[in-house]
Amino acid sequence: TTLTFGMAHAQSPELSDPPEIDGEVVGDHGSHTLRMGIGLAESSPQYLSSQYFGEILEQRTDGRISVNVFPNSQLGDDVQMLEMLQTGTLDMTYPSSSAATGYVEELAAFDLPFLLPSREAAVAVMQSDVAQNMLDAFEGTGLKALAFSENGYRQLSNSARPITSPEDVAGLDVRGLSVRTMENPVHLAIWEALGANPTPMAFGELFSALEQGVVDGQENPWSTILTSNFHEVQDYGTETRHVYTPFIMMLSERTWDRMAPEYQELVQEAARQSAEYEIQLSAEYDDWSRNQLAERGMQITRLDDEQLAAFQDAVQPVYEEWAPRIGEDLIADIQQIVEDSSN
């Protein structure tokens, strides 16, 4: 027996088993070993569902297609890995949609603050024709966009002070929070509107930047804050839910073009199945992660309606600046899907 002292923490919530893999083994069209780089850790829903994606392909090809997943940004950050897919030096990656707005501008709709009020609404949008059109719009970029899944609702963490209002972010008699953001202009605008000092930075550099105090804070879903151990260097969390970020599973077009049509179809199907599983895992992780972070000593603030409204008001200028550039019609379409999903 092993004796453990102190409090042992569960490494993950009770997770649903991956759906059973069914379907015939497809014909022999040669072998492929797909290398996939991701930003998040081995315990993340992103990694677990990527492993499942690989299992589907292995089983349905008798091992002729296999997938090697490289976690923790060890092959690069989202932006770099997308470029590696374009040049064909990497087969797959799984970025936040926010990292890919340089290829398909419409994706920036997802970066608008407080656009998707519930996970149900977000999933309805990700499964809509509007979202499929965004995936299709990657045609010709060197990237094959396979499926949307969930990164999740982004929450603010920091090492300086509890945050309950935009004034706390801006700091009245203290300096404004420096907040790491993704490399995305709408996110920069959000944190500028809140009075922070936003600093875009690769995810792989974030832990040490927080540890060394290069930035005070960052924003990511609770599950990422937990699985990337940010709570070790961040004492305060605020449930802002300011942006819902999707992931997009991506394949290099060069790799895609080398695959037989039957394999292409299978890869597309496996991506959809694993994306569905990822969304389920991510939902199971979300509140559980917040509670775990609290148990591990993070002081977490949940905002009441009035406090939340103050954040929503403060970011209105982001809509005024960005809605015309992203497309008013597109945003209206998304808002319609959101409305329909709550009926």
Chain positions contacting ligand KDG, by CB under 6 A: 38-40, 46, 78, 94-96, 151, 182, 203, 220, 245
In the complex with ligand KDG, which residue's Cβ is closer, 78 or 253?
Answer: 78
Place of tokens 């091992």: 63
Buried b (16+ CB within 10 A) or exposed e, 151-181: bbbbbbbbbbbebbebebbbbeeeebbbbbb
* Residue among 324, 343, 325, 315 at smallest CA distance from 115: 315
In the complex with ligand KDG, which residue's Cβ is closer, 78 or 216?
Answer: 78
In the complex with ligand KDG, which residue's Cβ is closer, 51 or 307?
Answer: 51
CB of 169 to ligand KDG, least distance (A): 18
CB of 202 to ligand KDG, least distance (A): 8
Q: How far is CA 286 from CA 17, 155, 293, 294, 305, in A?
A: 17, 11, 11, 13, 20
Residue number, nearest CB to ligand KDG: 39
* Residue among 247, 254, 236 at smallest CA distance from 144: 254
Cα separation, 125 vs 325, in Å, equals: 20
What residues are paired with 250 via a beta bridge?
93, 145
In the complex with ligand KDG, which residue's Cβ is closer, 46 or 101?
Answer: 46
CB of 83 to ligand KDG, least distance (A): 14
- The burial class, CB within 10 Å (0-12 / 13-18 / 19+), for 136 is exposed
Place of tokens 């700091």: 171
CB of 236 to ligand KDG, least distance (A): 18
CB of 247 to ligand KDG, least distance (A): 6
In the complex with ligand KDG, which residue's Cβ is closer, 69 or 123?
Answer: 69
In the complex with ligand KDG, which residue's Cβ is closer, 40 or 85?
Answer: 40
CB of 47 to ligand KDG, least distance (A): 9
